[in-house]
């Protein structure tokens, strides 16, 4: 003989299911009565996000399924289960932190790429500076300066033939 789904095996299990269903009915009736009382007092239902989330998480489950199937997940029925609704805040916080982690990692990677580009640019500038410093050293040697002076016809500067000497000035204190 074939057994129907979700049917109790014994009378005890049947009694337990009846008690649970009665408790669910009384709690859902009480929550509906509280909402109606709040609506009557305020004149309208609270439409703020925290109130909506609270109402969503306080709803009782639509079915007493204990097994989760692929059909439930793909069909979206898992979103209406009480375990999901009770953990909705935690799931939202986890999703927020995952998004924050991903954006932070992306930003860090972009900064690393920029740092590498700046290191390459700095290396190029160092080489350029070293090249210019070497060229300046070569051009500022005495032999190079004399050579350039000889090549320009309007220059009257000549290399001195006598060595330089120190001019001493006697002051009254030294005498």
pTM > 0.85: no
CA 165 to chain centre: 72
Helix (H) or strand (E) holding 71: helix 70-75
> Does the CA dihedral 122-125-131-133 come out positive or negative?
negative
Q: Secondary structure of the chain: what % helix, strand, coil (to 5)? A: 70, 0, 30
Please, are residues 4 and 40 in contact by the beta-carbon 8 Å criterion?
A: no
Question: CA–CA distance from 32 to each of 48, 73, 111, 127 (Å)?
Answer: 18, 28, 54, 78
- DSSP labels for 87-98? THHHHHHHHHHH
Please, are residues 57 and 88 in contact by the beta-carbon 8 Å criterion?
A: yes
Q: Cβ neighbours of residue 81 under 8 Å, at least 6 residues apart?
A: 61, 65
- pLDDT tens string, the chain, 175 residues long: the values are 455 555 555 666 666 777 766 666 655 555 666 666 555 555 556 678 777 777 766 655 444 556 778 888 888 887 778 878 888 899 999 999 999 999 999 999 999 999 999 999 999 999 999 999 999 999 899 888 888 888 888 878 877 888 888 888 888 776 5
Angle at 124 between CA 122 and CA 128, to 5 degrees: 115
Task: Pull the structure tokens for residue 140.
Answer: 């500022």
């Amino acid at each position: 003989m074939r057994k129907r789904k979700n049917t109790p095996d014994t009378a005890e299990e049947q009694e337990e299911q009846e008690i649970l269903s009665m408790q669910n009915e009384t709690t859902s009736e009480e929550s509906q009565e509280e909402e109606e009382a709040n609506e009557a007092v305020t004149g309208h239902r609270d439409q703020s996000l925290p109130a909506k989330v609270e109402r969503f998480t306080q709803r009782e489950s639509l079915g007493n399924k204990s097994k989760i199937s692929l059909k439930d997940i793909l069909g979206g029925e898992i979103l209406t289960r009480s375990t999901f609704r009770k953990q909705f805040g935690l799931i939202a916080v986890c999703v927020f932190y995952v998004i924050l982690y991903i954006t932070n990692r992306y930003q860090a990677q972009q900064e690393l790429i920029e740092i590498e580009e700046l290191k390459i640019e700095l290396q190029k500038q160092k080489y350029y500076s070293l090249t210019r410093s070497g060229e300046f050293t070569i051009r500022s040697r005495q032999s190079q300066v004399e050579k350039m002076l000889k090549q320009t016809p309007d220059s009257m500067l000549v290399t001195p033939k006598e060595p330089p000497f120190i001019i001493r000035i006697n002051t009254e204190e030294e005498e």
